[in-house]
Amino acid sequence: MPIAPLAADLPHPRRSMIGETLPAPARRAPVADRWLWALVAASALAVMAMMVANRLPVMVASPAFAVLVLAVGALLETWRRCARAATPLQARMRDLCEYGLVLIAIGVLGGVASYQVAALSRGFCDDMLQRWDTALHFDWLSLYRLVVSHPVLQYTGSAAYDAVFLYPWAILIWHAWNGERAQAREFLLTFWLAAVITLALFPLFPARGALAHLWHGAVPYAPSNGLDQGTVIATLRAHALGGIDLGTVTGVVSAPSFHTVCGVLFIAFSWRIVPLRLLIVPLNLMLLAATPIEGSHYLIDMVIGALVATIALVLVRKRATLLTLAQGLAARRLRPAAISR
């Protein structure tokens, strides 16, 4: 029996030129979308369990944690004031606050979880990753020397790489302003699933990073995610880090490249929004071009990251079909038991 859509799932009405209210095009949110907060809560419980097991908590006495608490508090208070949505603006603010809270939760939990998973990892796979790059005919050192000799590539690459987390806000603001709750939830669900797959694959490919592994001697240009990756992972494995300061969290995931995951997802979701497509697609192409150097990534890291993004996109866009298949299989398994009674 189909579940009736919640009131919040219904699209905002639109008005005709003579003023009467017309129904907006119906697009019912699949049931999986309503599990989004439950999935985030389950992720939080899993991360807390890892923090206890690794004895690696988040440092609450830090400026970054205080900023996080203030931001979450402001979003929650705005959501509370706009929950009844007496005006279209309040409805937009309510939706944006909800999306922002989910996005922040996924980002913070993903960063903390990467440290927890790194503490459980073993060995380094740089030699294997470099062999794959050789098979792909990719010369990381030649690209690095090119960037070193052209400062403009350094500035543009660093800016494009560091701006990665601005783009989801642009996408969510668009969906909130246009009352597109189903599309926003689809984006957040895909982002969450891609982060989960990335963290699940990370222990298979722990690495020091291309710069630390391939470059010897003084470093002429330190990219955004430079030489610290291997050191941080070694420190986490030795349980020598007393806590995680959210303000100093550095990237420790080599493959899959999460910046590549993000770039592919942002291009895919902004492609359906023409005004955003013209801005976000070129900027994220710049992000992808800068990722090998700024993220100290092997090319194979990016290939795996693109595959992760594609898998997440397909699974979420086919989620209604997959849920129907799962329900059908469950019904078949339960039927013989019911007959035997």
| Separation CA 254–CA 206 (nearest Å) | 6
191 pairs with which residues across the strands?
none
| Separation CA 104–CA 68 (nearest Å) | 9
Alpha-helix residue ranges (DSSP H) falling in 150-245: 151-162, 167-177, 181-201, 210-214, 228-237
The 3-state secondary structure of 109-157, one letter per residue: HHHHHHHHHHHHCCCCCHHHHHHHHHHCCCCHHHHHHHHHHCHHHHHHH
Contact 225, 294 (CB under 8 A): yes
- pLDDT digit string, tens, across residues 69-115: 999 999 999 999 999 989 999 999 999 999 999 999 999 999 999 99
- pLDDT digit string, tens, across residues 176-200: 999 999 999 999 999 999 999 999 9
CA dihedral of 190, 45, 247, 191, whole degrees rounded to 10: 0
Give the pTM: 0.86
- pLDDT digit string, tens, across residues 23-45: 444 445 444 456 888 999 999 99
Q: Angle at the Cα of 328 (from 325 to 331), degrees rounded to 5?
A: 155
